[in-house]
Amino acid sequence: MPVFYGTDIQSRLMLGTAQYPSPAILADAFRRSKAGIATVSVRRESGGEKAGQAFWDLIKELDVALLPNTAGCHSVREAVTTAHMARELFDTRWIKLEVIGHADTLQPDVFGLVEAAKILTEDGFQVFPYCTEDLVLCDKLLEAGCEVLMPWGAPIGTGLGLNNIYGLRSLRAHFPDVPLVVDAGLGVPSQAAQAIEMGYDAVLLNTAVAKAGEPAAMAEAFALAVEAGALAYQADPMEPRDMAAPSTPVIGKAFLE
């Protein structure tokens, strides 16, 4: 199971808490998923007169580790300010750092991301950066103090799966001892299984479960998929080959002349 900043996590599945049809459905999805971490936006807790208090009470009842995020932030200053708000609200040093650089694709601003990560780690935060699968960027994030990397599979909310298999495999090979989480873009459980089969430590998703016809059932399906992926990875899968190879031995076969 993954270990993030010295904390053992009991599941390879991480779930977001946005867009669910109702609080009851959200709670049911988390129970059936057995997710180890819930991501939550600070924006749900903002406003006057304890806005979002009922949601916060629900999240506490889920009894999972919380990973606040800076979703929707488009500048270093905004992300850093939001992270400080999150630390006060949720009493945790963890922060999922998002600095969005492109409005259509929600691709991270890689320059702002590194700058914000450095500022936050120096201030005692334990940063989970939402990033691309670029090796140079990830190296810079590690130099900035990050101990976990969260490359996207595809743009947030698209359900396109793992768009750059080569890049994700290269990242895993280049940083064998760094916890890696595929974050964003997963649409179906088979894509999550594929990520774990590649050696990724966990997956994080939200829309694929929250927007499913039956969110709780989909959450359970993703839970089973990451278990299957982990077992497959541990079993050391066969290497693909270009030519067919008989699975039945030909030794002892009768030859007719």
Angle at 164 between CA 227 and CA 197, to 5 degrees: 20
DSSP run (H or E) holding 37: strand 37-41
How far are the Cα atoms of 42, 43, 56, 71 from residue 51, in angstroms, in the given order?
Answer: 11, 10, 10, 18
Instruction: Say how far apart CA 41 and CA 117 lie, in whole Å.
Output: 18
Whether 185 has a binding-site annotation, put simply, is yes
DSSP run (H or E) holding 66: strand 65-69
Tally of helices (H runs) and strands (E runs) in the chain: 9, 10
> What is the three-state SS of 199-245?
CCCEEEECHHHHCCCCHHHHHHHHHHHHHHHHHHHHCCCCCCCCCCC
Tokens 């580790």 sit at which residue? 65
Whether 157 has a binding-site annotation, put simply, is yes
How far are the Cα atoms of 29, 68, 92, 112, 241 from residue 129, in angstroms, in the given order?
Answer: 25, 12, 16, 11, 36
Active site residues: 96
Whether 71 has a binding-site annotation, put simply, is no
Annotated binding site: 157, 184-185, 206-207
Annotated binding site for 1-deoxy-D-xylulose 5-phosphate: 157, 184-185, 206-207
